[in-house]
Amino acid sequence: MKTILLTGGTSGIGLESAVDLAKSGARVVLVGRDAKKTADKVEEVKRRSGASNVESLLCDFGSQKSIRALADAYRAKYDRLDVLVNNAGSVFDKRTTTEDGIEATFAVNHLGPFLLTNLLLDLLVKSAPARIVNVSSRAHYRSTIDFENLGYENGGYGIMAAYGRSKLGNVLFTRELSKRLEGKGVTVNALHPGAVATNIWAGAPSWAKPALALLKLFMRTPEQGGQTITHLAIGADVEGKTGLYFDEHEQKTASREARDDSVAQRLWAKSLELTHLPSS
């Protein structure tokens, strides 16, 4: 039985993918922040999927201490990891820093997956063939990595700028990690799930919310977005494919900066520094 760890699994596309993955017969481990909500969603996934192998762990991806605790808790309970889905994400109206002193959008959306993946990487390799799925966004096309102002310490913060940078980080991480995993039986791919009507933009400024409400009328449903995650997590047609970027179900060419190896390597080194992981 495959064991799948899915972060951000209590709402939106993560929840919908969890239902599909549970239907496939896999053991699905949902990760959420709130204990009661997470427990309720486990029961919902069981009910909707008709499967019983649905469990949960807790984590606040704005805290590196919490991410390390999640990795420890997973190891204590499970001896294999066939698929890791890095789906947890957030946005912030105003520049916010985490308890680790890092700009929150970048911390949650990029450093969170970077840290968790590295902490569980040996288990993924041990469980090979295994997969890593990183949920990114088309927003990465309009973004750059400014290493001199990575967390907007020197100004220039905007909700979309910060979000796009973090999602560019996801694609750069995916490509660099795929090279480091070559020959180890673990694939890693990034995806844009489509413009999906979820609650991630609840933190948007009040002036933007009427426009977002209108846009939601034309967006894909969470069920449709979740299918994109499911496809990369267990789809037979993507078996063995790695280091790629998918838009919905189709392989696409990522942005020029997302394909810059020097930027990817520099971001990897900076991410190790920010997460206090040993150099590699």
Residue with tokens 């840290």: 115
DSSP string, 240-270: T--S-EEETTEEEPPPTGGG-HHHHHHHHHH
Residue 121 identity = L
Angstrom distances, CA of residue 132 to CA of 76, 125, 188, 210 = 20, 11, 4, 36
Q: Number of C-alpha atoms within 13 angstroms, CB side, residue 72?
A: 6
Give start and end residues of each alpha helix (H) in the chain.
12-23, 35-49, 64-77, 104-106, 112-126, 159-180, 209-215, 222-234, 261-275
Q: Of residues 74, 157, 163, 245, which has the active-site annotation?
A: 163
Active site residue 245: no
Nearest 5°: phi and psi at 53? -90, 60
Q: Which two tokens stand for residue 217?
A: 């009328």
Residue 23 identity = K
Let me know: does 38 contact 7? Beta carbons within 8 Å. Answer: no
Q: For Cα atoms 109, 115, 120, give the angle at the middle one, nearest 5 degrees.
A: 125
Let me know: does 267 contact 172? Beta carbons within 8 Å. Answer: yes
Q: Which residues contact 186 (CB under 8 A, 6 or more apart)?
A: 121, 124, 125, 128, 129, 130, 131, 132
Known catalytic residues?
163
